[in-house]
Structure 1
């Protein structure tokens, strides 16, 4: 079986998850990898067949996507060319981890595409919803990388299509220690804002 596994390269979560999933896919067939996006610190220890610019999000420092910076960085003509050039018809299975080139190439050629992402869990009908709806964010989640069937990753198992997060083997096999500090990972916020907010917490 020929498998195309397409990974969103903006941010580190998708690539970290892929490092664990790729060896499992290799047991099922011949795997080609695709990465689109340019804002990640994690490298894959596997050969990548397709590297695309895709449609990159630029994260601001106030939490979330910087819409104007994303628009300025986008090249829709090149994105369309990338979508047209991807031979998804050559694969028995296409898996997209919130990756737009593969998803839209499948949509364009009427090919089945399986979504495997945290985003799939967020937009699931049974997922907890915020009191205030973010219309732009909701539109992005639904239309950025459309798939035929979606499976999500989330800490809350509120559907049979939602699974617990994929944790790197280095983390699973490490020895837990309690240290005199807290680790906060919120890269979409500026250090200045984080320090101001966290400084308000006493004891």
Structure 2
């Protein structure tokens, strides 16, 4: 069996999930990956056969999306060309993790596909949303990368086609400890947005993972890290808590490990607002704006007890078997 797997590289989560799935996918057949977008900062240890600039996210300085930069970097003619030349008819199965080019290519070439991943869960109206829905955000989630079949991943089983998160082996097999540092991963924030707030808490130690950092170094109470999977796994496994965005993979891993979480969803990012709504239902505190009292909020967060439900890890062989069975049931 030949398998085509499309990865949306607007962040690191899609790549991290694909890397975890790859050894299991190889048991079903030969796998070729298509990487679309250029926001990811992880080293990619996958057989990437096809690439496209696709559509990538761009951030404002302190925690928001820059829609102007997103739009002006989209190249419709190139996207159409990339979709046209993808040789999808050479594959027995097309798996799409929220990539619009693959979805367009399937439509143009009349090829069957399945959308697999976190975004697929939003095809269900039962998946949590914020109190005020965003019409444009809903349209993007539902129509950006449509497929005839959907298999979603989320914090809870909100619908019958939604499964638990894919958790990395390093996390599943870990022996978590509390070495009293705070892990920070907020890719939409630049360094000077938060540094002063962290420095006002000299009794706390922060492990801050930042794009653009080449070598680990410590300044005052902050240790700065490059965005590196091995460093991050170790920091998360041994942290007291993590401050992160409203993504999916990192909160899932923190919930699995029983760590305290402070979620700061990216402003104007509807999917992250939806994830924040789901996290709030699980008891995770959510902060929608970072102000001058951020240091006090961190202290109060650390002093508060956690009451999160136990997060299960995805049974990958069972989920993939369901995926291939669903795919073949056209």
- TM-score, structure 1 normalization: 0.91
- Check whether the contact 1:36–1:53 (CA below 8 A) recurs between aligned residues: yes
- Check whether the contact 1:112–1:148 (CA below 8 A) recurs between aligned residues: yes
Aligned pairs (5 A) from 1:1-203? 1-61=1-61, 63=63, 65-191=65-191, 192=193, 195=197, 196-197=290-291, 198-201=294-297, 202-203=299-300
| Cα deviation code 1:8-45 (max 9, x no counterpart) | 11100000000011111111011111111101111221
Higher RCO (CA < 8 A, seq sep 6+) = 1
Cα drift, residue 66 of structure 1? 2.1
Q: 1:123 to 1:64 in 2, by over 3 A?
A: farther
Cα drift, residue 162 of structure 1? 0.8
Secondary structure of the residue aligned to 2:18 is helix
Deviates more, 1:70-79 or 1:57-66: 57-66
Structure 2: state its 5+ residue gaps.
198-289, 301-330
| Cα deviation code 1:101-124 (max 9, x no counterpart) | 111101222221111111112342
CA–CA distance in structure 2, aligned partners of residues 135 and 190 of structure 1: 29
Q: 1:48 to 1:121 in 2, by over 3 A?
A: same
Secondary structure of the residue aligned to 1:199 is helix
- Check whether the contact 1:9–1:35 (CA below 8 A) recurs between aligned residues: yes
Larger radius of gyration: 2
Superposition misfits of 4+ residues, deviation over 6 angstroms: none
CA–CA distance in structure 1, aligned partners of residues 142 and 89 of structure 2: 23
Structure 1: state its 5+ residue gaps.
none
Residues matched between the structures, number? 203
